[in-house]
Structure formats: structure tokens, C-alpha cells
Amino acid sequence: MRLVGLTGGIASGKSTISNLFKSNGIPVIDADIVARNVVQKGTRGWKKIINAFGNDILLENGEIDRARLGQMVFSDPVKRQILNRLLAPHISSGILWEIIKLWMKGCKVIILDIPLLFETKMDRWTNPVIVVWVDPQTQIERLMSRDGCSQEQAQNRINAQLALDWKKSEADIVINNSGLLDDTKEQFREVLKQVSEPLTWKERMISRDGLLSIVLCTAVGILLAQKNLL
Ligand SMILES: CC(C)(COP(=O)(O)OP(=O)(O)OC[C@H]1O[C@@H](n2cnc3c(N)ncnc32)[C@H](O)[C@@H]1O)[C@@H](O)C(=O)NCCC(=O)NCCS
Ligand SMILES: Nc1ncnc2c1ncn2[C@@H]1O[C@H](COP(=O)(O)OP(=O)(O)OP(=O)(O)O)[C@@H](O)[C@H]1O
């Protein structure tokens, strides 16, 4: 199984690329959706948020007031770190569960669409890492127009993530989404070919799958060796 990392900056176009993968029959795990599910009313994530931020963070129907929480955490790095620490274990186990379900269905390629791929160090799980890049001016304009937010709010959200240019420098594949959608689609066709190719032997060895197999084989080997010694 190949687990492909898809990341970028806020509003750089990850969902746009995810949708192209989906329309080509490749399953996508959306970390933003997982992150929403783990804070639904009554969940452990929901309780942790109330403990940390108080009852004022709830809407009348008892759900988390995401707009309010967003305003708090995107303008205050300490609060953001508290939220990230609370939710990280729930989000990563939610993602792992989604991977297991798709793996059990026999999916050969899975896309992991996760804005904080590098920040959470989950890039170690994925190969290749695709970064959807956009120039800074276009990014802020698209973010403000999509979310109807001010320039300051948009900049706060952009600043809450690692620099997009740094992510670009760490990428295996870069999609430049600064231009027209047709231009992005043309780059996507090449990327689709690359991720659909079978894993090479070397790639298997350096992937987590390979490492896991090595660990399992070593453990089985030690057990068998012990049995022979008895
Ligand atoms: C702060 C919250 C309540 C704001 O909710 P809202 O509905 O307004 O935004 P949404 O969840 O759709 O996120 C939109 C985008 O914001 C960015 N973003 C979200 N959380 C974070 C974060 N902790 N740090 C940096 N950027 C973030 C991502 O690019 C994401 O795609 C929400 O984003 C949240 O709970 N974040 C913490 C969980 C998390 O880390 N999610 C990212 C997936 S790994
Ligand atoms: N090439 C493009 N040309 C014009 N608009 C675009 C292009 N690509 C994306 N957009 C628009 O820019 C906005 C951001 O794109 P998208 O939602 O795909 O970003 P994202 O990286 O998934 O965002 P987030 O980090 O918030 O999940 C959307 O309104 C989308 O329709």
C-alpha cells in the first residue's frame, strides 16, 4: 500500500487536488474531517476542549463554537498549542483507523490530505509528499474570498503554519496552484501517473511498511530462534 501525503498552506488548494484524486477513484483521508469528528458533542475531544476553554466555547446546541475557538487559537499561539496538544492523539488515532479501514478494503494507493503534515511529523508515514504551493498574494486573496475574513484574520491563519516555501523545499512533488485551474489539472495528470506507479524495492525498504515488516520479521525470527534453543 502507498500512503501519499498531500499538504500545503491554508487555502493553497489541497481540497481542489483531493477532489481530482477522488474523481480518479483514489480514496482520500481528509484530516480536517477527522479533526471535526473527534470533537463532536459527547466525545472525549469535546470534553477536553470544554475543560481547557470553559463552557463559553459551546454553542446553544452544545456543539463547539468553531468560529469562536478559531478566533481564539489563531490569534494566540499559546492557546493554539494547548488545542493542538489536546487533539493530536485523537486526530492521529482517527487517521490511523481510516488508513486501516481502507487497507482492509484492499486499496493500493491512499491520499492523506493533512494541512499540518510536517508540523505533526506525519510526513514520516507518507511517500511521496505532495505540496500544493501558491504564491503569497494569491493565497491570501483566495483565503479572504473563500472564508469572508479580514486580511488580518487571514494572515493570522497563514502564520499559524510553517512557511509554505519551506514546505515546498521539503516536498517530493510540488503542484503550483497559483494559476488557472486548467494549468493545475495538467500538472495533476503527471502526478497521478507518478503515484499510480508500483513502489520500487528501494521505496518499500525506506517506507514505514518496509520498516514495520523488518521489525515484525525480526521479532518472529527471535521467537523462532528461542524455540530452537529450548
Ligand atoms: C480551530 C478550529 C476550531 C477552527 O475551525 P474552522 O471550522 O474555522 O476551520 P477548519 O477546521 O475547517 O480548518 C481550516 C484550516 O485551518 C488550518 N488549521 C486548522 N487547525 C490548525 C492548527 N491547529 N494550526 C494551524 N492551522 C490550522 C488548516 O489549514 C485547515 O485546513 C479547527 O481548525 C480546529 O479544531 N483545529 C485544531 C485541529 C487541527 O489541528 N486541525 C488540522 C487538521 S490536522
Ligand atoms: N487554481 C485555482 N484558481 C482559482 N481558484 C482556486 C484555484 N484553486 C483553488 N481555488 C479556490 O481557492 C480556495 C482554496 O482552495 P481549497 O479549498 O482547495 O484550499 P485548501 O488548501 O484545501 O484549504 P484549507 O487549508 O482551508 O483546507 C477555494 O475557494 C478554491 O475554490
Atom nearest to 83 CA in ligand 1: 37
Pick the last residue of a domain from 53, 86, 106.
106
What is the distance in A from the centroid of ligand 1 to the CA of 31? 9
User: Angle formed by the axes of helices 136-147 and 151-159, to 10°?
Assistant: 120
Same domain, 12 and 48: no
Query: Could you list the pLDDT tens digit for every one of the 230 residues in the chain?
Result: 899 999 999 999 999 999 999 999 999 999 999 999 999 999 999 999 999 999 999 999 999 999 999 999 999 999 999 999 999 999 999 999 999 999 999 999 999 999 999 999 999 999 999 999 999 999 999 999 999 999 999 999 999 999 999 999 999 999 999 999 999 999 999 999 999 987 777 666 655 555 565 566 666 666 666 665 54
Beta strand segments in the chain, E: 2-8, 28-30, 109-113, 129-133, 173-176
**Burial letters 55-68, b for 16+ CB under 10 A, else e:** eebbeeeeebbeee
Is residue 229 included in any domain, yes or no?
Answer: no
Could you tell me the three cell numbers for 217?
520479521
Instruction: Mark whether 19 and 85 lie in a shared domain.
Output: no
169 falls within a domain: yes
Kindly state whether residues 145 and 70 are assigned to the same domain: no
Place of cell 521539503: 170
- Whether residue 228 lies inside any domain: the answer is no
Same domain, 136 and 114: yes
Q: Which of 15, 32, 69, 131 to mutate to test the pocket of ligand 1 (most atoms within 8 A of CB)?
A: 32
Residues 115, 23: one domain? yes
pTM (2 d.p.): 0.90
Interhelix angle 77-104/44-53, rounded to 10 degrees, is: 180
At residue 56, the pLDDT reads: 95
Same domain flag for 130 and 184? yes
| CA distances for 29 relative to 15, 44, 80, 132, 179, angstroms | 11, 21, 23, 16, 26
Domain shared by 21 and 42, yes or no: no
Tally of structural domains, the chain: 2
Q: What's the gap in Å between 204 CA and the centre of ligand 2? A: 32
Q: Is residue 126 domain-resident? A: yes
- In short, whether 167's Cβ falls inside 6 Å of ligand 2 is no
* Peptide bond connecting 89 to the previous residue in cis, omega within 30 degrees of 0: no
- Whether residue 142 has its Cβ less than 6 Å from ligand 2: yes
| Residue nearest ligand 1's atom 40 by CA | 84
207 domain residue, yes or no: no
In this structure, the number of other CB atoms found within 10 A of the CB of residue 42 comes to 8
> 118 and 147: one domain?
yes
CA dist 124 and 6 (Å) reads 13
In a domain, 216, yes or no: no
- What range defines the domain where residue 140 resides? 1-27+108-198
Domain assignment present for residue 220? The answer is no
The answer on 64 and 125 residing in a single domain is no
In-domain check, residue 218: no
Identify whether residues 75 and 153 lie together within a single domain: no
User: Which residue, 82, 106, 130, sits at the end of a domain?
Assistant: 106
Tell me the pLDDT tens digit for each residue of 6-55. Answer: 999 999 999 999 999 999 999 999 999 999 999 999 999 999 999 999 99
- Rounded to 10 degrees, what is the CA torsion of 8, 147, 71, 154? 60
pLDDT of residue 230: 45
